[in-house]
Amino acid sequence: MIKTTTFYTNLRPLFLTFTLSFILLLSCNKTSKPMTHKIWGYNSEIILDDFENTTINESLNTFKSKVELDSKEATRGKQSLKVFFKGDEKESGFVIAPKTPWSIDPNKKYCLVYDAKSLNGESSFITVEVENDKGQSTRRIVNIHPNEFNSYFFEITTQKEDIESGLRDTPPAWKTDAIHMKISGLLYQIDFSKVAKVSFYRSQGLKDKTVLIDNIRLVESPERDPNFLKGIVDKFGQNAKREFPIKVHSDEELKAIADEELKSLAEYTLMPDRSQYGGWKDGPKLKATGYFRKEKYNGKWALVDPEGYLFFSIGLANVRMANSTTYTGIDYTDEKIKYRDPEDVTPEDSKGIVEVPLEIMKTGYVANKLRNDMFLELPSYDSPLAKHYSYRKESHIGPIQHGQTYSFYRANLERRYGNSFFEKWVEVTEIRMRNWGFTSFGNWIDPAFYHRNQLPYFANGWIIGDFQKVYSGQDYWGPMPDPFDPEFERRAKKSIDVVAKEVNDNPWCVGVFIDNERSWGSEASVNTHYGLVLDGLSKDMNSFLKQKFMTILKSKYKSIADLNKSWETNITSWEELEKGVDYKKHENFSVGMLADFSVLLETFATKYFKVVHDALEKAMPNHMYLGCRFAVWGITPEVRKSAAKFVDVFSYNYYKEGIGKKYWKFLEEIDMPTLIGEYHMGASDSGLFHSGLVHAANQEDRANMWADYALSTIDNPYLVGAHWFQYLDSPITGRAHDGENYNVGFVSTTDIPYPEMIKKAKEINSNLYTRRFGNIKTEEK
């Protein structure tokens, strides 16, 4: 095997000096000492708790955790709070909630600030939530660094310009040594003139962690730099205002880095224990069918490659250009660019670059000056790099609904490889994946990889169209389709036929995902659990779903009186029920009502999965159905039960630190192979303004967190794979779809791999199969 970082050896001395200093800083085991700097003046400060009393304040309560006062280390006093967070719990932490809410001046702007240090040489990913007296709250996330105290902060007074920026989160608006916590969810303007409680917790953490916390306070915000969002992006799509280890400073430097990597990749060889499909060549030889399939072997679920070797799918998702574009703040007056074919089966988010004719580009105007001013340099329309402009007709969320976009990633590929950049990118990406020890791609890869037969892949399709919709009440990505609408069945067949044609019965295709993170509901409450049923019951008989519900209910109950007795309701007639009854805000549900709701929900889900299964069975009989990639916030037992009847492999997107035991206990009940479709971690030393859904302290810590997650899947007997989301970082100014501007890539926007991630991937992946299956002697079956 070659050395991981060969292609970095010729970088400029400044780069090496910065990197070595950075590594030395991380490796020093410093003893803690009181903080001597201030992040800003302590004017208009409200101390929520400084832990200087002899006992813990009665307004502080713990949940699934333990706290104690610590007199050994503190920042602005003699004591701090030591918090013992428990891993593998839904939530573990503490809340401070005084009898009377804290009041702050509504005419001033405030930040929540605290000092913290993670113990035992480990970082700790936590959430901090501030709630007002009306029950409205904002959540922020951060990784508490080990070894020494830092101050952590976020503005509880969200500014209008932050929301209008189109970024999932912005850089700090003033200079500070404190670490900026990032939004978990979306930015909203909330009235925090009365703060009712503040919570610190870990959500489904993988390990127990111990953190010192001190001086929790509300501090008046400094004056914002009016230009803090201006000129923040250089011509490479990087942070223009700060240095970081793999930052590129010139075209020549970028080309030199690419040339060095190509030399190292030329020495590539496949890991010696792998079959041509990435299966375990040194392991047992099972039945070969010529396609991927599933089998339980020695008590552990596994995939089996076309040659009959045990296969575990570990890889990277979203290896494509579709999500690499970001809004420039320009739009066009020419409306032709906004036309969309109603029969299109691919959501705009999954499309690649849309070529914009020059005559339409010439109608451009500044539609969002705040966005447009973020960029130091965008190519002129007569530049060779203008081919990387594109257009988005719609956004999922954000202040910009449509407009011009640009892909810095594609432009940087052209700088690296010249005019044939796309073909070279495909080739280099494949070699990287196998060089780094990955056995497959994840979901959402460019179809250009489909028939090169270099790496197994997963196909995907979406069912979109003008069919009836149903709302669960948790419709972040949009409402559910009504599976009883004949138009849904037509569109499912149409979409799957397109996927089948793209795959063309290729044995390198492991299987097919259809849809993603659908809004099935959650077990947080009865209303969210049965949201789809409640919405269905509120509809009239023009609804196909309502027609099905009425058939079920009338077949069970001889009269409306019988239904009322079971439901404890006063519906006057079947006709009233047919017109629609609204129980969405109902608080008390009878046992009989809940039992029927469960049946109706299972009926809904069963129809959905059957329609998809039947279409796949007909069009792609040799490929596995891998489900719809459930989100942890959108799944219920009835839906799992329905899916189990039709999918070959379950799939979940799980953005946590790893696979624990408590949440995943249900795997023992369903006893089916399961695949993790998405997870990631990010760090702020990438230069990006948001680290992602899970935060690491730095790139080395991120690599270790990736390893912890990967090993937790490899060690789980029900899991057959895990796919990291995604191959490349989000654009620094947010992907056009929804503003995500995360450090989630194995490569940067300049297509430079993160050395720490690659080193750790090779380490874990080289022992993948022996760790998963043990040293089993090869045998015929």
Task: Provide the CATH number for the domain around residue 193.
Answer: 2.60.120.430
Pick from 166-175, 350-359, 366-375, 493-502: least confident: 350-359
- pLDDT confidence of residue 457: 98
Give the pLDDT confidence of 541-577 residue by residue, as tens digits.
999 999 999 999 999 999 999 999 999 999 999 999 9
Q: Residue 27 has what pLDDT? A: 35
Q: Is residue 41 part of a domain?
A: no
Whether 437 shows a pLDDT value over 90: the answer reads yes
CB-count burial class (<10 Å; 0-12, 13-18, 19+) for 498? middle
Q: What is the mean pLDDT of residues 51-80?
A: 95
Per-residue model confidence (pLDDT) at position 477: 86
pTM reported for the whole predicted model: 0.92
Whether pLDDT at 386 is above 90: yes
- Same domain, residue pair 614 and 595: no
Confidence tier at 33 by pLDDT (50, 70, 90): very low
Cβ atoms within 10 Å of 616's Cβ, excluding its own: 26
Residues contacting residue 54 through CB under 8 Å, at least 6 positions apart: none
Residues in contact with 243: Cβ distance below 8 Å, sequence separation at least 6, in sequence order: 18
Residue 246: phi, psi to the nearest 5?
A: -110, 30
Does residue 504 carry a pLDDT above 50?
yes
Same domain? For 84 and 166 the reply is yes
Would you say residue 25 has pLDDT above 50? Answer: no
The pLDDT of residue 272 is above 60? yes
Q: Are residues 515 and 461 in the same domain?
A: yes
Q: Which pLDDT does position 258 carry in this prediction? A: 96
In this prediction, residue 17 has a pLDDT band, given cuts at 50, 70 and 90, of very low
The percent of residues in the chain predicted with pLDDT above 90, rounded, is 87
In whole angstroms, give the CA distance from residue 430 to residue 434. Answer: 7
**Residue at 629 is within a domain:** yes
Please report the pLDDT score of residue 776 as a whole number: 60
86 has a pLDDT exceeding 80? yes
Same domain flag for 590 and 606: no
pLDDT tens digit sequence for 445-465:
999 999 999 999 999 999 999
> Pseudo-torsion of CA 716, 717, 720, 723, nearest 10°?
0
How far the first Cα of the chain sits from its last, in Å, is 32
On whether both 185 and 311 belong to a single domain, the answer is: no
Residues 315-338: tens digit of each pLDDT: 999 999 999 999 999 999 998 888
* pLDDT at residue 40, rounded to an integer: 56
Sheet with 310-311, strands from edge to edge, namely 293-297, 300-304, 310-311
In a domain, 266, yes or no: no
Q: 111 and 159, same structural domain?
A: yes
Q: How many domains does the chain have?
A: 5
Average pLDDT over residues 51-71: 96
Between residues 474 and 134, which one has the greater pLDDT? 134
Tokens of 687: 């230069």
Both 623 and 708 in one domain: the answer is yes
Q: What is the pLDDT of residues 173-226, one digit of tens each?
A: 999 999 999 999 999 999 999 999 999 999 999 999 999 999 999 999 999 999
Q: Report the share of the chain in percent with pLDDT over 70.
A: 94
Is pLDDT at 36 greater than 60 in this prediction? no
DSSP secondary structure, 49-68, as one string: E---SSS--TTEEEESEEEE
Instruction: Single out the residue in 600, 623, 646 at which a domain terminates.
Output: 600
The Cα–Cα gap between 430 and 746 comes to 14
What pLDDT score does 367 carry?
96
Residue 590: strand, helix, or coil:
coil
Query: Which DSSP helix (H) or strand (E) runs through 2?
Result: none
Specify the pLDDT at position 26: 34
**Mean pLDDT value across residues 290-312:** 98
Query: Does any domain span residue 781?
Result: no
Q: Interhelix angle for 408-417 vs 251-265, to 10°?
A: 70
In a domain, 36, yes or no: no
Mean pLDDT of 750-761: 98
Per-residue pLDDT at 45: 87
Domain residues for 741? 293-320+419-522+602-773
Q: How confident is the model at residue 4 (pLDDT cuts 50, 70, 90)?
A: very low
Helices 408-417 & 421-435 angle (0-180, nearest 10): 90
Helix (H) or strand (E) holding 424: helix 421-435
Of 415, 449, 385, the closest CA to residue 259 belongs to: 415
Domain match, 753 and 695 both: yes
Q: Which amino acid is at 615?
A: A
Q: Give the mean pLDDT of the chain.
A: 92
269 is a domain residue = no
Q: How confident is the model at residue 351 (pLDDT cuts 50, 70, 90)?
A: confident
Same domain? 167 vs 303: no
Phi (first) and psi of residue 185, to 5 degrees: 115, -130
In a domain, 274, yes or no: no
Report CA-CA distances (Å) from 424 to 52, 205, 316, 367.
62, 40, 19, 35
Mean pLDDT score, 525-532: 96
Q: What is the mean pLDDT of residues 110-124?
A: 96
> In sequence order, what are the residues at sequence separation of 6 or more whose Cβ sits closer than 8 angstroms to the Cβ of residue 2?
264, 267, 268, 435
Confidence of residue 350 (pLDDT cuts 50, 70, 90): confident
Distance CA 724, CA 66 (A): 33
Q: Region 501-525: what's the mean pLDDT?
A: 96
620 and 638 assigned to the same domain? yes
| Distance of alpha carbon 124 from alpha carbon 65, whole angstroms | 14
pLDDT bin (cut points 50, 70, 90) of residue 30 is very low
**Residue after which a domain boundary falls, among 541, 565, 600:** 600
- Phi, psi angles (nearest 5°) of residue 416: -75, -45
Q: Do residues 666 and 676 both lie within one domain?
A: yes
- Supply the CATH number for residue 477's domain: 3.20.20.80
Residues 610 and 567 in one domain: no
pLDDT of residue 391: 96
Q: How many CB atoms lie within 10 A of CB 259?
A: 12
Q: 391: which strand partners?
A: 404
Question: Of 220, 248, 283, which marks where a domain is finished?
Answer: 220
